[in-house]
């Protein structure tokens, strides 16, 4: 951990708990700050508050009182999920109080090799692949952290100058990380996400570009080259650009051509041998290969990872084979676009499990994908009627209504035959029936295990 003195004797407010907030608060104490921690909710576990207080941190819960803005804080460390239009945050902004996220703190104390990954889709898979490749090489001690569910700051505290962190960073985190400076940055893609938070697409793109804002020509920006817009985004960076392309738009970095994966004209492996399915995972693999090669990883170690890694949990995750059927958990598909991508990854007939929170939209966009890939569908949740309507438009003969993703499993089994894929890819958020997509996916897997009498395969 790098020694940082800028917070000594300063007053710091940590706004919002969660993994990032709690660890940021404890870190600030170690850095010599006087810390107040505030959360609008009171944690269900009293140990959370007790641990903070035991470290000398003043704790305020149950509200975000506006008087906190009158307490002369030198810095606010904001939970990334808290919008900037919250009244308390607005007051700090008006006072020009620095507002950062835990990612900024982590980058300040980390003295090792930082590889940072952002993008609209594929961040977690790409982050995981890079970490596994670098770890396989035994060149450095490695860890992943950040938006992947592991505290960036707590990880950075444990790592030395010769170690590598692969950090998944959301646009929310990057907005509050003005000095972050990864040696290798990755932008997997940029779609129209989180516009309720960022207000418009340009703000969203600018937030993503914070990942490369402080890079120089001695650093690398790995970026998807398959759309003109993304190429234009790359030109706003001062880093050395390393493109990756599934559509053969560039041979300067990693690319796919005629079914083979290349790094700068050197053949690495056949794309079909990547264990993760679907064109989106070819893109994720290309981005990871570029980062790994720039980090000194051998082709053999890259291939070893790509031919064995079966997927990040809940993200088109292979669960098991049973009596000729193959089960996949894609509970992270909480929007239509994600389910479109998932369906394109299969050549086998698909029994689709879909539905969830009713956000007021319909699913006509899925009709061509249903026609091409889906032989039967099990619909559930608040929007099951809208999903059923799209399935009927697609001419799917077998449509079954059920309560949820758990009860859908035996129904899907009844309709399946050897050679079929049974896929949970809901195209909707889980909140009508489950607290998170993770819980929905875990319960789906448990239902598959109960049906088959087997454990999920890793």
* Tens-digit pLDDT profile for residues 119-144: 988 999 999 999 999 999 998 899 99
**101 appears as a binding residue in the annotation:** no
Q: Which fold has domain 103-306?
A: 3.40.1190
pTM: 0.87
The segment(s) of the chain belonging to CATH 3.90.190.20 are: 317-452
The string of pLDDT tens digits covering residues 192-223 is: 666 677 778 888 999 999 999 999 999 999 99
Within the chain, all domains assigned CATH 3.40.1190.10 are found at 103-306
* pLDDT of 369: 97
Quote the CA–CA distance of 37 and 49 in Å, as a whole number. Answer: 9
CA end-to-end distance (rounded Å), the chain: 34
Per the annotation, does 278 bind a ligand? no
pLDDT at 450: 98
Distances (CA, A) of 279 to 271, 275, 345, 415: 9, 12, 6, 27
61 is in an annotated binding site: no
- Closest by Cα among 145, 146, 14, 141 to 74: 14
How many degrees, rounded to 5, is the angle at CA 88 between CA 83 and CA 93? 80
Residue 147 labeled ligand binder: no
* Cα–Cα distance for residue pair 25/129, rounded to 1 Å: 30
* Fold topology of 317-452: 3.90.190
Classify domain 11-100 by CATH number. 3.40.50.720
From CA 95, how far away is CA 201, in angstroms rounded? 27
Ranges of CATH 3.40.50.720 domains, the chain: 11-100
**Which pLDDT score is estimated for 278?**
87
User: Is residue 293 part of an annotated ligand binding site?
Assistant: no
pLDDT under 70 in the chain at which residues? 192-195
> 119 among the known binding-site residues?
yes
Instruction: Say if residue 120 carries a ligand binding annotation.
Output: yes
Per-residue pLDDT at 191: 81
Structure confidence at residue 457 (pLDDT): 81
Tokens of 327: 């089960």
Look at residue 297 in the predicted model and tell me its pLDDT. 97
């Amino acid at each position: 951990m790098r020694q940082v003195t800028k917070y000594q004797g300063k007053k710091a407010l940590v706004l919002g708990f969660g993994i990032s907030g709690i660890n940021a608060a404890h870190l600030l104490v170690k850095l010599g700050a006087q810390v107040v921690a505030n959360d609008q909710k009171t944690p269900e576990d009293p140990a959370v508050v007790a641990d903070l207080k035991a470290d000398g941190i003043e704790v305020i819960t149950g509200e975000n009182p506006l008087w906190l803005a009158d307490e002369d804080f030198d810095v606010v460390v904001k939970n990334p999920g808290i919008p900037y239009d919250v009244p308390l945050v607005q007051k700090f902004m008006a006072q020009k109080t620095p507002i950062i996220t835990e990612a900024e703190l982590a980058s300040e104390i980390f003295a090792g090799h930082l590889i940072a990954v952002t993008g609209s889709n594929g961040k977690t898979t790409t982050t995981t692949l890079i970490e596994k490749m670098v770890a396989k090489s035994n060149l450095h001690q490695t860890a992943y952290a950040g938006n992947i569910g592991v505290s960036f700051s707590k990880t950075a505290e444990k790592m030395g100058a010769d170690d590598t962190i692969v950090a998944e960073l959301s646009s929310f985190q990057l907005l509050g990380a003005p000095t972050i400076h990864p040696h290798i940055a990755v932008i997997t893609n940029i779609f129209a996400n989180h516009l309720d938070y960022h207000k418009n697409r340009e703000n969203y793109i600018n937030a993503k570009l914070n990942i490369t804002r402080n890079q120089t020509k001695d650093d690398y920006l790995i970026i998807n080259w398959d759309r003109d817009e993304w190429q234009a985004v790359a030109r706003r960076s001062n880093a050395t650009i390393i493109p990756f392309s599934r559509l053969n738009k560039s041979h300067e970095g990693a690319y796919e051509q005629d079914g083979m994966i290349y790094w700068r004209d050197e053949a690495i492996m056949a794309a079909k041998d990547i264990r993760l399915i679907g064109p989106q995972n070819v893109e994720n693999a290309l981005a990871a290969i570029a980062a790994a090669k720039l980090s000194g990883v051998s082709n053999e170690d890259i291939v070893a990872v790509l031919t064995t890694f079966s997927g990040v949990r809940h993200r088109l995750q292979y669960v098991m084979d049973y009596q000729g059927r193959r089960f996949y958990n894609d509970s992270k598909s909480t929007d239509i676009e994600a389910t479109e991508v998932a369906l394109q990854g299969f050549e086998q007939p698909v029994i689709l499990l879909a539905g969830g929170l009713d956000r007021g939209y319909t699913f006509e966009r899925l009709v061509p994908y249903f026609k091409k890939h889906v032989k039967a569908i099990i619909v559930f949740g608040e929007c099951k009627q809208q999903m059923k309507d799209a399935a009927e438009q697609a001419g799917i003969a077998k449509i079954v209504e059920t309560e949820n993703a758990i009860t859908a499993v035996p129904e899907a089994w009844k309709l399946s035959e050897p050679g079929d894929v049974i896929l949970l890819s809901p195209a909707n958020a889980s909140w009508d029936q489950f607290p998170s997509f993770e819980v929905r996916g875990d319960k789906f897997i448990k239902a598959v295990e109960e049906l088959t009498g087997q454990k999920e395969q890793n």
